[in-house]
Amino acid sequence: MSPSTFRGQALAHDTELVQLSSRTERFDHLVALAGNPNTGKSTVFNALTGLRQHTGNWPGKTVTRAEGYFAAGGTRFKLVDLPGTYSLQAASDDEQVARDMLLFGRPDVTVVVLDATRLERNLNLALQVLAITPRVVVCLNLMDEARRHGIGVDPVALAQALGVPVIAASARSGEGIEAVREAVRAMAAGETITTPYRVPRFDDTTEATIATVEEAVLSAYPELPNSRWVALRLLNADDRVEAAVQNGELAALSAERLPAAQPTPVASAAMLEHGAVAVETGNDVLAVASAVRWQLATDFQDRITEGIYRSAEAIAASAQLAGVRRVRFDLDRTLDRWLTSRVTGFPIMVLLLGIVFWLTIAGANVPSAMLGTLLIEHGHAWISSLFVAAGAPDWLRGFLVDGVYLATAWVIAVMLPPMAIFFPLFTLLEDFGYLPRVAFNLDSMFRRVGAHGKQALTMCMGFGCNAAGVVATRVIDSPRERLVAIITNNFSLCNGRWPTQILLASVFVGALAPPALAGLVSASAVVGVTLVGVAAMFLASWLLTRTVLRGEATSFSLELPPYRPPRLWQTLYTSLVDRTLIVLWRAIVFAAPAGAVIWLISNVNIGDASIAEHLVGAFNPVGLLLGLNGVILLAYLVAIPANEIVIPTVLMLTVLTGAAPEAGAGAGVMFELDAAGVGTLLRDNGWSTLTAACLMLFSLLHNPCSTTIYTIYRETGSVRWTTLATLLPLVMGVVVCFLVAQIWRLLAGM
Amino acid sequence: MVFAAGVVALAGVFWPQRGLLALVQRTRRVTERVRIEDAVKYLFHVGEDGSVVRPEALAGALVVRESAARALLARLVEAGLARTEGAGVRLTDSGRRDALRLVRTHRLVEQWLADRTGMAPGEWHAVAEDAEHELTREEVDRLAARLGQPRFDPHGDPIPTATGELPINDRVLLGALAPGEAGLIAHLEDEPADSYAALLAAGLTLGRTLVVRARDARAVDLEIDGTRVSLPRLLEAGVSVQRAPYTPTHHQMTLADLALGQSGTVLAIDLECRGAQRRRLLDLGVVPGTRIAAVLRSAAGDPVAYDIRHALIGLRRKQAAWILIDPDTTDTDSTDADTTNTKTAAELV
């Protein structure tokens, strides 16, 4: 690692997470929603607000922060969904965001969602929240699951132990949600008095140190409700809390500590007022903290977690219903035994994923053809005639209809049906809890190349759409492994590239075999290319983790959630809205301008030829070197926004620049022929089996489409990683195509 | 195409600050400063016991010719960083401040690498050696703040503070050793006498190594040359140790050694497990005293899923091997740890 790399990594600015807020509404009180990953927090959020945020049987769904609104008793509440975290030590970006919101965002009420089946671990977070704010309502979620597993938790006893209201709930069925709303309302209205549980004493040395700092904190900010917690954070030299002490934010928190404070922005007038005083007292407090810090044991942090867990154990035990014993849930164990067994684990996985892919490809054919007829054949002619009837000039009709409309229609026809089938099926497996088991089974393969088992799933998701695959990497909670998964996702042959592969395989590869075997041979060719992609993914992951990503932090753990019966209709709805439509929308946004560019370069002439013809001529030498040609390279250049339109663009450009002009529908108009027609047209224009083979490889190994590039940038927030993810597959593709072409020609020449 | 390639190539050579040319220029400028800083650091480390540095010793340490070392020392003296004393030189106060700043940077960088990256321990030193010459004072302070003002580097050496204070650290109280940490017994407090007697009776003698196995509110469990001892926490203050490795005389079991269906109680997490990995395990509830059962082996054999506080968590073999456990001898539901081979200090007194 060079010093400049080191500097870049170690001293980069903190991540600021994006706020997902579609609308701003008037509200009376601010409510925060906290909880462990995979506690049904998103389900609670949806149940409270009526929004449809995607929820999955996965730890770690919410990364950006979602907001919604609800009303109770005539009062309006704004609900902010915090990232699901195991802790609030601010060790990761997620924890930092959650912690800052609780401390500085000053919610009027914080709802902590607890998983009733994993009470101890969930209490670890709840106790940390209680140390920051006493205005907490606990939503004891997944009570239905607890009952199924024979776990008896007594909400009354829990409320007594924690000193805050506890509502038993099953958010999936809506049970208890109304009670949560009411409890939130009562607390916001100041009707509830809480006596929050405080983690009892740590060992004497630690306590003495904490007491010294807490005294200093309290003398500076007498009204601060969480002085002990602030003292602990200062002993930890938490830079965010230190900054708050220095710039007066903490003084403002102390001064404004009144019931049902109005939700004001952090930089309030009171804060400014106290600012001047705060600087002096603040520095005194910091001086005390840094002076006593040397007396702490080296494992201070470990001991604190240990202390919190001791309390969590005691509270969980006191809330245990007498006479109820946790039963081993035999169905789960039996399923696990089959699904993760050495003998049956892999065959079942191949079978299930095979069914998903078969349903997607086979099932998408019919609606794709129907959409094609509707949008491209009829729609295009109909809109064209409208323009003609309206007396629009020819260039305008060409630009808008032949360019913009046709490209967009093409993308929809090719992309929508497979996505609408693939994503719901995948989501069903996800909701059931099967996908984490796949990750569990495949982890050792991925471990060897330095990646995370969950990358198997983001890879599968990439077969549907790489942009969706990149978004799906959010379930990987270890920073290095997540980057690997993002950068290598493009090696999954996506939806937009399947048609290219299938067409070329059947026209060129299948034609080499006797007719009876043609189908089988061309199918094997497509599978072969897909497997080359998987191999490239492993190779690239291995290379990345040994070079540029070597120093990235890793924190592997893989939670296997209990199996949950999937909810069919909700899954259909959310996966349609959440994945299919959003991805489709982005594709349209990028495809429409591409259509315009294609039409323009084909119709604007420089000298005696169109721009496209000039470019094809210029690209031809390089293309031939790679076993391709100028038409293909130009098609890939203009089709960066959407891989779906590569084949129609290739056909259009071939007609434009080559022989047999009568086959086309006019310059700049994309079209498709049947397989035989495509074969004749391309062979007439100098295509060989080598061209097809190289194009199949290049279609697999080239830069991601612009939607994916944009998604990668949004997910990583880094130009560096986005550039790497863009160029790595392109370089691999160029090298592979070059080698294949040269060796092929060498062998053919012999 | 050729033109584009040419532009890229030219940019690569002439790009300000990043290009090849800038790199060459910087390298020449930097090596001079690096030499001086390395010399200052060497003088600091050697000078700690009061001795002066002769040119030939410096030449050996920095692997330069003796004439070059002589010139280097002359430059240090000229810059006011060192002064001549007899046949050698010694750091001045200003030189010592510089040295402390370098040591601070070096140890902070190592701490960052250990805590925030997946880099192997063997690679830390080289990166830190480079970075200590590169980072500005502000950057170092920012790094320290981001790391939570760490007091020790991953090797247990103290990190000088921003104001140049270096705490003397060769001896720490036994209470400062975390479970899993080891040390050489360096000092036993002989007042009050009955505490001293209790310490001796428990098997604590100067020069022996010990390792802390577990600690609760009342007692600390130690292993001294293979024997387990339980010491009341009150007595901990009478023992000072020097951090030193401990070679256990019998095999210590880890979570990775558990067979499916078997369970054990966590004693400690190995200190080699650091940063995000350690925090994740702690947050999942892997703390001393937690009972963990091995439940499920994945189809490929690794990872194994463990029941940790009623959640099924897959851990890789390497991670599981960081978690030291005391295996349950029987498969009953009792949560009492196996205490048969633990003698209490009270019995010993």
In B19-101 the beta strands, taken as DSSP E runs, fall at 82-85, 88-91
Give the torsion sign (CA, A265, A271, A272, A278): negative
Under the banding of pLDDT at 50, 70 and 90, the label for residue A313 is: very high
Binary contact (A298, B312; C-beta < 8 A): no
pLDDT of A539: 95
Q: How far apart are CA A488 and CA A536, in angstroms?
A: 8
Neighbours of A745 (CB within 10 A): 12
| HEC readout, B276-328 | HHHHHHHHCCCCCCCEEEEEEECCCCCCEEEEECCEEEEECHHHHCCEEEEEC
More confident residue, A35 or A63: A35
Give yes or no for B4 touching A (CB within 8 A): no
Under the banding of pLDDT at 50, 70 and 90, the label for residue A337 is: confident
Is pLDDT at A262 greater than 50 in this prediction? no
Binary contact (B313, A559; C-beta < 8 A): yes
Average pLDDT over residues A546-553: 78
Under the banding of pLDDT at 50, 70 and 90, the label for residue B207 is: low
Using one digit for the tens of pLDDT, what is the confidence trace for A389-419?
Answer: 988 888 888 888 888 888 888 888 887 888 8
Q: By C-alpha distance, which of A278, A287, A229 is closest to A255? A: A278
Using one digit for the tens of pLDDT, what is the confidence trace for A661-700?
Answer: 555 556 667 777 777 788 888 888 889 999 999 999 999 9
Report in angstroms the alpha-carbon separations of A724 from A28, A317, A699.
46, 51, 18
Binary contact (A557, B315; C-beta < 8 A): yes
Using one digit for the tens of pLDDT, what is the confidence trace for B120-176?
Answer: 777 788 888 888 888 888 889 888 888 878 887 776 677 888 887 776 656 788 888
More confident residue, A148 or B7: A148
Report in angstroms the alpha-carbon separations of A638 from A94, A101, A299, B311.
38, 44, 58, 50
pLDDT of B336: 37
pLDDT of A304: 87
Q: What percent of chain A has pLDDT over 90?
A: 27
Is pLDDT at A141 greater than 90 in this prediction? yes
Query: Do A646 and A702 touch, CB atoms closer than 8 A?
Result: no
Binary contact (B303, A551; C-beta < 8 A): no
Is pLDDT at B7 greater than 70 in this prediction? no
Among B119, B143, B314, whose Cβ lies nearest the Cβ of A11?
B143
Contacts of A564 (CB under 8 A, 6+ apart): A57, A145, A431, A432, A433
Question: In this prediction, does ipTM exceed 0.95?
Answer: no
Window from A529-538, A708-717, B30-39, B249-258 with minimum mean pLDDT:
B249-258
Q: Which residues 310-339 of B have a C-beta within 8 angstroms of A?
A: 310-316, 319
Q: What is the DSSP letter of B254?
A: B
| HEC readout, A252-308 | HHHHCCCCCCCCCCCCCHHHHHHHHHHHHHHHHHHHHHHHHHHHCCCCHHHHHHHHH
Residue A386 token pair: 């409208």
Give yes or no for A10 touching B (CB within 8 A): yes
Q: Which residues 102-141 of B have a C-beta within 8 angstroms of A?
A: 109, 112-113, 116-119, 123, 127, 130-131, 133-135, 139
Binary contact (B284, A443; C-beta < 8 A): no
Contacts of A99 (CB under 8 A, 6+ apart): A88, A90, A132, A240
Q: What percent of chain B has pLDDT over 70?
A: 79
Average pLDDT over residues A196-222: 83
More confident residue, A578 or B228: B228
Is pLDDT at A18 greater than 60 in this prediction? no
Among B151, B179, B290, whose Cβ lies nearest the Cβ of A293?
B151
Is pLDDT at A660 greater than 70 in this prediction? no
Under the banding of pLDDT at 50, 70 and 90, the label for residue B194 is: confident
Is pLDDT at B338 greater than 60 in this prediction? no
More confident residue, B169 or B238: B238
Binary contact (A10, B233; C-beta < 8 A): no
Is pLDDT at B312 greater than 80 in this prediction? yes
Please tell me the total number of residues recorded for chain B in this structure.
Answer: 349
Under the banding of pLDDT at 50, 70 and 90, the label for residue A739 is: very high
Is pLDDT at B85 greater than 50 in this prediction? yes
CA angle B153, B157, B160 (to 5 degrees): 80
Contacts of A146 (CB under 8 A, 6+ apart): A116, A117, A152, A153
Q: What percent of chain A has pLDDT over 70?
A: 87
More confident residue, B219 or A327: B219
Average pLDDT over residues B81-107: 87
Residue A271 token pair: 């804060």
With beta carbons under 8 A apart, name residues in chain A contacting B117: 9, 551-553
Window from A240-244, A562-566, A590-594, B46-50 with minimum mean pLDDT:
B46-50
pLDDT of B4: 65
pLDDT of A258: 43
Under the banding of pLDDT at 50, 70 and 90, the label for residue A314 is: very high
Q: How far apart are CA A579 and CA A581, in angstroms?
A: 6
Using one digit for the tens of pLDDT, what is the confidence trace for A48-66?
Answer: 987 655 544 444 444 455 7
Under the banding of pLDDT at 50, 70 and 90, the label for residue B334 is: very low
What is the b/e burial string over A63-99, where b = at least 16 CB atoms within 10 angstroms of the residue's CB?
bebbbbbbebeeeebbbbbbbbbbbbbbbbbbbbbbb
Q: How far apart are CA A342 and CA A339, in angstroms?
A: 9
Give yes or no for B170 touching A (CB within 8 A): no
In chain B the beta strands, taken as DSSP E runs, fall at 82-85, 88-91, 172-173, 182-188, 209-215, 219-224, 227-232, 239-243, 263-269, 291-297, 304-308, 311-315, 323-327, 343-344
Give yes or no for A482 touching B (CB within 8 A): no
More confident residue, A497 or A277: A497
Give yes or no for A306 touching B (CB within 8 A): yes
pLDDT of A261: 40
Contacts of A47 (CB under 8 A, 6+ apart): A171, A174, A177
Is pLDDT at A140 greater than 90 in this prediction? yes
Q: Is A575 left (phi over 0), alpha (psi -120 to 50) or beta?
A: alpha
CA angle A325, A327, A328 (to 5 degrees): 150
Is pLDDT at A278 greater than 70 in this prediction? no
Q: DSSP secondary structure string, A173-184? A: TTBTHHHHHHHH
Range picked from A118-132, A388-402, A495-509 for highest mean pLDDT = A118-132
Lookup result for tokens 């930097």: B30
Is pLDDT at A730 greater than 70 in this prediction? yes
Binary contact (A554, B284; C-beta < 8 A): no
Average pLDDT over residues A158-180: 93
Residue of chain B minimizing CA distance to A149: B310
More confident residue, A595 or B29: A595
More confident residue, A57 or A510: A510
pLDDT of A71: 87
With beta carbons under 8 A apart, name residues in chain A contacting B112: 10
Q: Which residues 110-149 of A have a C-beta within 8 angstroms of B?
A: 117-121, 124
Q: How far apart are CA A33 and CA A35, in angstroms?
A: 7
Average pLDDT over residues A714-736: 92
pLDDT of A65: 56
Query: Do B267 and A411 touch, CB atoms closer than 8 A?
Result: no
pLDDT of B333: 44
Using one digit for the tens of pLDDT, what is the confidence trace for A604-640?
Answer: 888 888 888 899 989 999 999 999 999 999 999 988 8
Q: By C-alpha distance, which of A122, A131, A109, A132 is closest to A182? A: A109
